[in-house]
Structure 1
Amino acid sequence: MSRTTKYTDMGWPEHDALWRYDLLSEPLLSSELRRLAGAASYDNTDSVTFQPCPNPEESNQDRYAVLNWTLSNGTWQFRVVLDGHAGHDTVEHTLRTLPVIIRAALEGLVLENEESSVEAVSRILSDAISSLDDNLTNDLLDLFPDVDAVSKLSDDEIRRTINDQESGGKKSSIVMRCMRGTTVLASLVDPTRSNIWVASLGDCQAALGTRQADGRWETSVLSSYHNGANARERERVMSEHPGELECVIDGRVLGAIAVTRAIGDHLFKLPSAYTKRVFLNATPGFSITKKIEDFIGRNITPPYVSNCADVRHAKLGKEGSYLVMCSDGLLDLYENTGMDIEALADFWIHLLVRREKPWNDSNLALYLLRDALGGEDVERVSRMITVEMPFRWMDDTTIVVQKL
């Protein structure tokens, strides 16, 4: 077991800089990765959530939850992965609130009908996500009901209203939850373990591998890819804003945000006056105000970012299944392989089934993360987890693997 100091340009020679990293030998490398990734196991589920940048300002904005709910008809299994962006406010609020909303609705459905229909459970998931976001909108509109209400106030009056941290911060919290955003990937398994639902809002991904009676594994993607790089989503946004040539630029909504569906991100859901007068007067503000100012003029007929989730249902086989849920950081780590999401889903499932790699770890999520970071390439993995850079060299990456 050893640690050797080395230097790297991380493949970015244009920065004209070298950064220090530690070359770790086994078993130190595996144990350090496990620690940094917060590897955890609960019931039938393994998880990791990983952002190795040592700068506190670059801390991980992903969140996840592994919950089992015992209702009158048995135990339902709920798992969720949230990919927060622009700050922690919206993703933290969603983590606290969304499971509560879904469980309450599910309890009501079960009381009405022990045999819950596929459609009814799907509606619970989609309605919970959209209603959570609608509540964020309504809370803000309680403060500023319309554009006229905003325009009648001076900047000082708006600042005094929304920057109320010294008196409890209730109004500040309302504004921050609208300024920041998060994607949602939520799964639900019924008490018989024969049905699974996956709701997706944004670009996190879910892959289901189901073992067939003949021993083969069948893989399917149970999530949508709500991102401007997706031609179907790009065309949807453009069709909702006819004649607005800049509603999507270079795969980004209004040239600014990659995801086309999310909770929060009300800069893309409300008239531009709210951004100019409310959001830009909030403290703390945006990390780069210039980017905000660049796209305000393109905001003509909001909303541009949707809060409508897609929900897919699948039957679970009796031979066993794996569900892999991940934030888009995992996809980014494979971007040079040329694999699309269907190919990646199949690759991940078969990687778990075979378990042939020498870093064979009991935590299946950690096993997938190790492969994505470099696998058997000890130097690459060491560099990825220990390099001392002040800014991110990889996206937040969260993986949840459920054995069904």
Structure 2
Amino acid sequence: MRRAAVQAFRTTFQYTVRGLGRRPFTTCILQTSSAKSPTTRRLLSTTQRRTLKHHKNNASSGIPPPRLDNSIPLPPPLQSSMYYRRAGVVLASALVGYGAWYSYNDGSPGNVNNVSAKRGYTTDTSTADSSLPTRNVLVISADQLHTGTIVGDGPISKTTSEDGTRVIEMLNPEQATEKLRKLEESYLVNRGQGVVRYDLVQLPSNDPIEDDHTEKIIEIEPPTSNNGGNDWMFWGVFDGHSGWTTSAKLRQTLVSFVARELNQTYQKSDKSLPGTEAVDAAIKSGFLKLDDEIVNQSVQKVLQANNKTMAAELLAPALSGSCALLSFYDSRSKLLRVACTGDSRAVLGRRQENGKWTATPLSIDQTGSNLEEANRLRKEHPNEPYVVRNGRILGGLEPSRAFGDASYKWTREISDKLRKHFFARSVSNLLRTPPYVTAEPIITTTKIEPEKGDFVVMATDGLWEMLTNEEVIGLVGKWIDAQQQNKPSSSSPGLFDSVWSKAFGSSSAAQSGLPVEVAKMDGPEGQRAPFRGVRQWGGNDGFVVEDLNVATHLVRNALGGKNREQVSALLTLPAPFSRRYRDDLTVQVIFFGEGEQKGGEVVPNNEAMKGLKGELKAKL
């Protein structure tokens, strides 16, 4: 009976969604006791007739009829941001709420609601046993996604048919928050060198997560020196694709490569500080030397060793790929340099005299859709009309700059040789004059003004697919206002002390909307606008402040904010289904300020890191 009931449940969902799919609605909401328009009434009536007809055919099996519930809208399933995926016939814009499945009670179906149709409306004719719990579930198939409810406390079958359709119990809001905060971190920088705190969080969509990150502070001169000390501070986010190995390699080595080149440049300088061009050249050299080690030197070592085990280890970071966003802050000069390879993004927030914040992009998205990048590639590869096709390099890779991705850098001869003796990725038929992709970053330099409470948000493109620059900066501003309003002045130092109060001024929490100067909605030139996110899912009146970690706060609002059911649904989705609705997310927020030197350590801010509380130690 269980198999018959599960099959009936799945088939009924398919019948309903097929009926909805022929109607030109962006989001379809099924009402249980009322309809807001004649169109909705007709929709409900048609759907109900299909459902009741199917139930009549299965009446002999004892299967109770389903109950229609309200739905929650989700963004349309999308292609991978790095490579095309065959999504099949995907439900474009709606997550149809629908269910009241059966429960088990000593091997028999439990009590459920019956449904009848009358004058185009749906009404309940009986009430389920109030003592039985009702649980929300997601029903996931290869090309469709639905919500439903199960009445009763019996087991939930997670795989319901040979085609992989799954029923998964939805996380409740508390469980969703726990998952959201699992990988959050927060640190107080007690060094008096212009940085007071940084927060970060990761949320996987791929399994395992393909993103990575790094944070490192190098003491150039101690605070006791005549110059008052000098730190080099680095923060990096790495957006991996086609695997996690390249981003992991960047976490382990990129800062070391760049710091080594910077050290040599500073030592050679006749002045107290080298010029901008020299520093930029050093950063670029560090990026390119590491990529050469990943892509080219690894091949030489593999061919010399002629060992498949070594080949698997050395070639993995070359065959996968990763974008890289690295910030370098020199506390003496107060200059922040942001080096970007790929389409991760950094944005500066700075408070104005009117209390609002401005969002200044510190990087551009380097993809085939960026006109400047496309023109550069066409100039470097003349007579190759398909070097950029559909906004992608050779029609495949979206970022025009990346580490690894050796199939776009190796010659065809090298790829064929490696494939014959070891392994390698297939080569595009369009490959003529590699390399087509470079790891050379584009670098911006910004003078930080700690007295104005400057902060920088660095994130992989999973965040920028959902929120604009202004929304992100405004959300941080809203979070700051909430912390100042709710946190007593006598609370633990290091969070919002007198330094921050001077920079931020009075609270603007009472303002309507976000405290940010609004720029054009499509974003600056070279940056694409969000194509999935809260603007499609409910508008910016749905933002909320619930988290003490500001990076977690940004991710929560990217997923739906006040719409708790939507946030829970997106966090419930397992890999690989979740990848159609959200990418891996890695977010860092760095707060600058004229803080005092308090012991010189970087200490965990346990109050803002629930998931890893007590597990992380001070670091420098």
Q: Which residue is equivalent to 1:127? A: 285
CA deviation digits over 1:14-69, x for unaligned, max 9?
999564241413x443223111xx0011231111111145xxxx210111011111
8 and 68 in structure 1: CA distance in 2 versus 1, 3 angstrom threshold: same
Aligned to 1:345: 469
Q: Which residue of 1 aligns with 2:306?
A: 161
Equivalent AA in structure 1 for residue 475 of structure 2: L
Q: What is the match of residue 204 of structure 2? A: 51
Which entry has the higher C-alpha Rg, 1 or 2? Answer: 2
- SS of the equivalent of 1:259 reads coil
| Equivalent of 1:301 in 415, 433, 454 | 433
In structure 2, the residue matched to 1:4 is 135
**Displacement of 1:143:** 4.6
SS of aligned partner of 1:226:
coil
How much has 1:99 moved relative to structure 2?
Answer: 0.9
- 2:212 counterpart (34, 53, 63): 63
Q: In the superposition, relative to structure 1, how do residues 192 and 390 fare at CA in structure 2: closer, same or farther (>3 Å)?
A: same
- Does the CA contact (< 8 Å) of 1:159 and 1:282 recur in 2? no
How big is the shift at 1:88? 2.5
What's the TM-score, normalizing by structure 2? 0.54
User: What is the DSSP-based 3-state SS (H/G/I as helix, E as strand, rest coil) of the residue aligned with 2:570?
Assistant: helix
Larger RCO, structures 1/2 (Cα 8 Å, 6+ apart) = 1
Gaps of 5+ in 1: 145-157, 287-291, 335-343
Judged with a 3 Å threshold, the aligned counterparts in structure 2 of structure 1 residues 298 and 105 are, in CA distance, closer, same or farther, namely same
Matched to 1:63, the amino acid is D
The residue aligned with 1:277 is 417
Q: 1:402 aligns with which of 590, 593, 598?
A: 590
Letter of the 2:474 counterpart: H
Match of 2:276 in 1: 118
Give the superposition deviation at 1:219.
1.7
Normalized against structure 1, the TM-score is what?
0.81
Q: Determine which of 291, 294, 301 is the counterpart of 1:136.
A: 294
Q: What secondary structure, in the 3-state scheme, does the structure 1 residue paired with 2:181 have?
A: helix
Deviations 1:170-210 (A, max 9, x none): x4433222212111100011114721110000010111111
Letter matched to residue 403 of structure 1: F
User: 5 Å matches for 1:375-394?
Assistant: 375-388=561-574, 390-393=576-579, 394=582
Match of 2:158 in 1: none
Q: Is the Cα–Cα contact under 8 Å of residues 4 and 23 in structure 1 kept in the other structure?
A: no
Q: Closer, same or farther in 2 for the Cα pair 1:85/1:379, shift >3 Å?
A: same
2:205–2:576 CA contact under 8 A, matched in 1: no
Structure 2 equivalent of residue 341 of structure 1? none
Closer/same/farther in 2, CA of residues 280 and 186 from structure 1, 3 Å limit = farther
Closer, same or farther in 2 for the Cα pair 1:21/1:222, shift >3 Å?
Answer: farther
Which residue in 2 is equivalent to 1:154?
A: none
Q: What corresponds to 1:39 in structure 2?
A: 184
1:333 aligns with 2:333: no
C-alpha separation between the residues in 1 aligned to 2:198 and 2:321?
26
> 1:3·1:22 contact (CA, 8 Å) conserved in 2?
no
Q: Secondary structure at the match of 2:339?
A: strand
Seen in structure 2, the aligned counterparts of structure 1 residues 12 and 207 have a Cα distance that, compared at 3 Å, is farther
Distance in structure 2 (CA, Å) of the matches to 1:136 and 1:330? 27
Displacement of 1:94 in angstroms is 1.8
Q: Distance in 2 between matches of 1:252 and 1:137?
A: 21
Cα distance in 2 for residues equivalent to 1:12 and 1:77: 46
Worse-superposed segment, 130-139 or 113-122:
113-122
Kindly provide the amino acid, as one letter, of the partner of residue 131 in structure 1: K
Please provide the CA RMSD for this pair: 2.7
Once the two structures are superposed, the pairs formed by residues 167-178 of structure 1 within 5 Å of their partners are 169=310, 171-178=311-318
- 1: CA distance between counterparts of 2:307 and 2:584? 30
Q: 1-side partners of 2:383 and 2:334: how far apart?
A: 47
Instruction: Name the structure 2 match of 1:201.
Output: 341
Q: Is the 8 A contact 1:213 1:319 kept in 2?
A: no
Contact 2:347 2:458 in 1 (8 A): yes
Mapped to 2, the partners of 1:52 and 1:259 lie a distance apart of: 19
Percent identical among aligned pairs is: 26
Instruction: Determine if the alignment matches structure 1 residue 95 to structure 2 residue 251.
Output: yes
| The one of 373, 382, 388 aligned to 2:559 | 373
**1:96-126 deviation digits (Å, cap 9, x = unpaired):** 1111112223333444454343333222222
CA contact (8 A) 2:210 2:241 kept: yes
C-alpha displacement of 1:362: 1.5
Task: Tell me the residue number matched to 2:242.
Answer: 86
CA contact (8 A) 1:228 1:234 kept: yes
- Runs of 4+, deviation exceeding 6 Å: none
Change (3 A) 1:389 1:299: closer
2:79 counterpart residue number: none
Unaligned runs of 5+ in 2: 1-132, 146-162, 189-196, 222-228, 483-542, 593-620
TM-aligned CA distance change 1:8 to 1:207, over 3 Å: farther
User: Which of residues 144, 155, 175 is equivalent to 1:13?
Assistant: 144
Match of 1:313 in 2: 445
Cα–Cα, structure 1 residues 400 and 281, in superposed 2: closer, same or farther, change >3 Å? Answer: farther
2-structure distance, mates of 1:386, 1:327: 21
Q: Call closer, same or farther: CA 1:194–1:218 in 2, change over 3 Å.
A: farther
Q: Does the CA-based 8 Å contact 1:267-1:274 persist in structure 2?
A: no
User: What is aligned with 1:153?
Assistant: none
Letter in 2 for 1:353: G
The structure in which a higher percent of residues are helix is 1
Residue identity opposite 1:123 in structure 2: A
User: Number of matched residues?
Assistant: 361
Distance in 2, matches of 1:275 and 1:104, equals: 32
Please, which moves more after superposition, 224-233 or 172-181?
172-181
